[in-house]
Amino acid sequence: MNNPIIISDSEWQEIIENEDIRATWALDDELSEYNAMTKQEFIKEVYGCKFNFINDGPGYSGDVFCLYGDNLDTPMTLIRGLDGKIKTLI
């Protein structure tokens, strides 16, 4: 069954350390309201879930993370790379 899974605390930490996530949410921008946002504050601002994605053919199988900000635009999608680190899909 393809039910969403709650993102763990350690996975949230990995997500907010991701360079693309930091840039998208302006987490390092001194002029941004999100600058210096803690992990707990970020979690309150973002809708997120994880799926255990299984492909029927050749391709990716593993963790897929979907994140929405405060609007229903296209979600940020992240996967776990071969190196074990979370990376964004572009």
In-domain check, residue 78: yes
Query: How many domains is the chain partitioned into structurally?
Result: 1
pLDDT tens per residue across span 1-11: 688 999 999 99
Tokens of 57: 């053919």
Q: Domain range for residue 36?
A: 9-88
In-domain check, residue 4: no
In-domain check, residue 28: yes
Sequence-distant (≥ 6) Cβ neighbours of residue 63 within 8 angstroms: 11, 50, 51, 52, 53, 79, 80, 86
In-domain check, residue 1: no
In-domain check, residue 63: yes
Determine the Cα–Cα distance for residues 36 and 69; give it in Å rounded to an integer. Answer: 17
CB 66 within 8 A of CB 51: yes
pLDDT tens per residue across span 39-82: 888 899 899 999 998 887 777 788 999 999 877 788 899 999 88
